[in-house]
Amino acid sequence: MVNSLIVVPLISSLVTAAVISGIWVGAYYIGVKPNQKSDSSNSDPTNQGSASTASYPVSASTASHPVLTTPCIQRSPCEYRLVESIPWGIFTNGEKVMNSTSSAWLDLVNGAESSIEIASFYWSLLAEDTGDNFTSNDTSTFEGRDFYNALINAGKKGISIKIAQNTAVGGYPETANLEKNGWAQVRSLNFTNFEGSGILHTKTMVVDRKHFYVGSANYDWRSLTQVKELGAAVFNCPCLADDVGKILDVYWQMGVPNAQIPDKWPDSVATVYGSQNPLSVRLNQENDVVYFSASPPDFRAGARTGDIDAILNVINTATQFVHIEVMDYAPTTLYMQRNYYWPLIDDALRNAAFQRQIHVRLLMGRWVHTYTEFYSYLYSLQNLNVSLPCLPRGSKDCKRGTIEVRLFEVPPYKEIPNIPYARVNHAKFMVTDNTAYIGTSNWSGDYFISTGGIGMIIQAGDSSQTSQVVQELNDVFIRDWNSNYSTPITDYDLKGNPINSNNL
């Protein structure tokens, strides 16, 4: 049976939106030093407009983009690894953990033969670039240093290294050093110039157009040992690697000084793959279908599916459960001068539980930078649980959906209790009974409207078969959900204060 779930028409409607300048602060800058914020964070609020509160921007329909390139045929199996970063000191009681992010990154760079292409938010691989007066040389900082040295060695060997990064006042010392020594070419993207607000938030690496990484980990030593991250590393897979590379080609083009978004993207960066035409490929020994989504809408070329469209499609095609793990969740925009309601994902989850009796579980990260308003949003979502109907009504075999919300909190690192912007669940993934989604974006409107991000969507090629790739991702979610670091939203009040006997 050919998989039909991934080609179900997307139900998100086309809505035109005016997105004006935003202020990007707080937890959006996980790991960024206060004195090296994005240019957009320093924009003059007096010059900022307000976004309409009546419209909910989504990415444009994929049907509006013509097919421009020839499909790729992947004849040999690809090596697929689910990789994660586990903050030091947790999951020490024999819990199963996946391959490490740092080992996958080193394998990618050390195996490079001709080219390394990177899309990044910011750079803080070396302990001395941590900022916030951080001075420790703890062993947990070494993995970032080792990866940075591997990049230097690749550059010295003549490997072509291209880095597209989010713009920052003063730049980043690490990429400046690579460029100064002729080890890498570096371009910076200012999304305020392109979209009126936003940043490049993608975390991706493509090697030799054969191997790649997509996931939540920033190019930061903390993302390897002090922040919980999740991604996919795929080797010997030129069809998929080239398709991710086309997204990086877009970034590279937009990193040219004074670049402007073209009316039509060139054929060279266009894809034929999307939700309605995924790429058939063997991941390990399994026949799967895969495509990559992207945001914002202006940065999509060819048949590329919008990231929000992909997320909604995954939710809307679930038949049993939807499990989500993400650092931030809000049915609003968060970083605009005038934020507004943006309920696309929230509505889809409520509809799934109410109309289709889907079991929804949302696990959000909790840390010192969690916004207070998130708690009321999460309560609102879970409180629908008490009113979900048993359908069909009157039937002894009726079924009822569920919505459960929990928070995942990483305890402090005993060796260094106060590492800035660390010890948080920064993963961004979703898994259903039939689909895996691995992304680079938090779940609020800004990330899909005006911010650069990528999603990787995977299903079994035969919908009658259970995908081991999907099952493995769900195993990670269940491990996290049932862990000692996960607590129900009801353990906190509407302002995020823990509820205990002293509060009663």
| Residues in the chain, overall count | 504
* Domain residue extents for the chain: 5-50+73-491
Terminal Cα distance for the chain, rounded = 56
Q: What is the pLDDT of residue 69?
A: 52
Can you say whether residue 258 is alpha, beta or left, with left for phi > 0 and alpha for psi between -120 and 50 degrees? left
State the average pLDDT over residues 22-31. 35
Confidence of residue 53 (pLDDT cuts 50, 70, 90): very low
pLDDT for the residue numbered 8: 44
Query: pLDDT tens-digit profile of 178-227?
Result: 999 999 999 999 999 999 999 999 999 999 999 999 999 999 999 999 99
Backbone angles phi, psi at 439, to 5 degrees: -125, 180
More confident residue, 75 or 385: 385
Q: State yes or no: pLDDT of 44 exceeds 70.
A: no
Q: Select which of 162, 210, 211, 426 is catalytic.
A: 426
- Active site (annotated) includes residue 65: no
Among 37, 65, 162, 201, the one annotated catalytic? 201
Per-residue pLDDT reduced to its tens digit, 139-189: 999 999 999 999 999 999 999 999 999 999 999 999 999 999 999 999 999
430 closest CA partner among 336, 340, 351, 312: 312
- 36 pLDDT band (50/70/90 cuts)? very low
CB 447 within 8 A of CB 295: yes
pLDDT of residue 5: 55
How far is Cα 113 from Cα 104, in angstroms, rounded to an integer? 16
Is 211 annotated in the active site? no
Verify whether residue 428 is a known catalytic residue. yes
Q: Is the pLDDT of residue 2 over 70?
A: no
Confirm whether 426 is a catalytic residue: yes
The rounded Cα 51 to chain-centroid distance in angstroms is 24
The reported pLDDT for the residue numbered 12 is 38
Asked if 49 and 23 count as a contact pair (C-beta separation under 8 A), the reply is no
In tens, the pLDDT along 284-325 reads: 999 999 999 999 999 999 999 999 999 999 999 999 999 999
List C-alpha distances in Å: 314 to 66, 277, 342, 353, 487: 23, 15, 18, 14, 26
Return the pLDDT at 51: 34
Residue 396 annotated in active site:
no
Q: Residues 208, 243, 249, 346: which is the catalytic one? A: 208
- Percentage of the chain exceeding pLDDT 90: 81
- When the pLDDT of each residue in the chain is averaged and rounded to a whole number, the result is 88
Furthest-apart CA pair in the chain: how many Å? Answer: 73
- The whole-number pLDDT of residue 75 equals 86
Q: What residues contact residue 114 under an 8 Å CB cut-off, 6+ apart? A: 159, 160, 208
Q: Which residue has the higher pLDDT, 349 or 35?
A: 349
pLDDT at res. 74: 86
What's the CATH number for 5-50+73-491?
3.30.870.10
Of residues 309, 433, 446, 480, which has the active-site annotation? 433
Q: Which of 307, 428, 446, 480 is catalytic?
A: 428
Q: What is the mean pLDDT of residues 119-148?
A: 96
Choose, from 37, 162, 203, 359, the residue flagged as catalytic. Answer: 203
DSSP for residue 63: G
pLDDT at 198: 96
Tens of pLDDT, residue by residue over 448-464, are 999 999 999 999 999 89
Each residue's pLDDT tens digit, 363-386: 999 999 999 999 999 999 999 999
Mean pLDDT of 83-107: 98
Q: What is the CB neighbour count within 10 angstroms for residue 275?
A: 25
Would you call 210 helix, strand, or coil by DSSP? coil
Average pLDDT score over residue span 492-502: 86
> Does the pLDDT of residue 410 top 90, yes or no?
yes
CA distances to 81, 155, 158, 160, 390 from 147, rounded to whole Å, are: 18, 13, 17, 16, 53
Instruction: Judge whether residue 436 has pLDDT over 60.
Output: yes
For residue 63, count other CB atoms closer than 10 A to its CB. Answer: 12
Whether 323 is a known active-site residue: answer no
* Stretch 216-240: mean pLDDT: 98
pLDDT at 20: 26
